[in-house]
Structure formats: C-alpha cells, structure tokens
C-alpha cells in the first residue's frame, strides 16, 4: 500500500494491512515532526508533494525493495500539508519472515525516499521559514 494523505496517518490500519501468517517480523518506521532543527525551535512543518510523481517514485522504491528482499507486505504513507510537533510525517512498514530483512528493507525505503521522491518540507520557525535542502 502506497499513499499520500492530508489527514493523520493511522498506524493500526497500516499494521492490519501488514498481517501475514508467514510474517515473523514487522519493522515500522515513523518519521515525526520534532520541535527543533539544529537547536532552532520549529513551530510547524509544511509538506508539499508532486503527487502523481511522488507515488510513482515511491512505487519504484518499493518494487526495488521487493526485488532485493523477500517482503510479505510493505506500506508507505506520507503526509502532506501542515504538520505540528509530534505528528507523523511518514510511516514505512515492512513484514518479512525474518527480522534482518525487515530492518534492512525498511531502512532502505526511508533512506531512498529522502533522496528521490518529489516531496518538499518547509520548516517554519518562530522567526522565519526555510525549504529544507533547497539552499547551497
């Protein structure tokens, strides 16, 4: 399951989707909005996506993970819009027979999402704002 959503991510339904009688391991990674970036206090984040391409780039990453590991299930959900401190920005969930594959695949997916998927994050501080990674 791959989705972009402007409403809060539901962990329970993601876990439900990952249920498999062959699964011995589930690794779930949650990216969360934290209250600071390099000690500068963050007020909120705004996520923007090129939806169609973001979904197809995530699909490529998931396909590549399926190619590298034997995955029994895989969920990627990314929030868009305004997110407050403590809110979940992204959920990656992977179910496998054995735990090493779950950890490796989950980590690969989040690392690669951060490199290739057209989603942009603006950090809004109390005294300004910045598009992350945009400036030299």
Partner 1 sequence: MNSSANVLLFGIARDLTGQSSVLVPLAPDTRVSDLLTTIHKQYPALLGIQSLLVAVNGEYAEADQPLTPQDEIALIPPVSGG
Where do contacts with partner 1 occur on this chain (CB under 8 A)? 31, 47-50, 52-54, 56, 78, 89-90, 110, 113-122, 131-136
CB of 13 to partner 1, least distance (A): 20
Both tokens of residue 41? 């206090």
What is the SS3 assignment for the chain?
CEEEECCCCCHHHHHHHHCCCCCCEEEEEEEECCCEECCEEEEEEEEEECHHHHHHHHHHHHHHHHHHCCCCEEEEEEECEEEECCCEEEEEEEEECCHHHHHHHHHHHHHHHHHHCCEEEEEEECCEEEECCCCC
Residue 22 touching a second copy (CB under 8 A): yes
Residue 74 CB coordination number (10 Å) = 23
| 135 interface partner picked from a second copy, partner 1, none, CB below 5 to 8 A per type | partner 1
Q: Which of 25, 120, 121, 130 binds a second copy (CB under 8 A)?
A: 25
CB of 82 to a second copy, least distance (A): 17
Site map 81..100 versus a second copy, x via CB under 8 A = ----xx--------x-x-x-
Tell me how far apart the alpha carbons of residues 33 and 50 are, in angstroms, rounded to a whole number.
21
CB of 103 to partner 1, least distance (A): 13
Residue 1 touching a second copy (CB under 8 A): no
Site for a second copy, rule CB under 8 A: 11-12, 15, 19-36, 85-86, 95, 97, 99, 102-103, 106-107, 110
């Amino acid at each position: 399951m791959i989705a972009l959503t402007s409403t809060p991510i539901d962990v329970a339904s993601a876990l439900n989707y990952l249920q498999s009688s062959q699964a011995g391991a589930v690794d779930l990674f949650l990216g969360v909005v934290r209250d600071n970036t390099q000690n500068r206090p963050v007020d909120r984040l705004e996520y923007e996506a090129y939806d169609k391409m973001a979904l197809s780039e995530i699909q490529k990453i998931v396909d590549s993970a399926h190619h590298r590991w034997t995955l029994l299930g895989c969920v990627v959900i990314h929030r868009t819009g305004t997110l407050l401190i403590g809110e979940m920005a992204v959920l990656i969930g992977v179910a496998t027979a054995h735990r090493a594959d779950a950890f490796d695949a989950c980590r690969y997916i989040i690392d690669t999402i951060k490199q290739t998927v057209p989603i942009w994050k603006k950090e809004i501080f109390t005294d300004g704002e910045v598009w992350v990674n945009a400036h030299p």
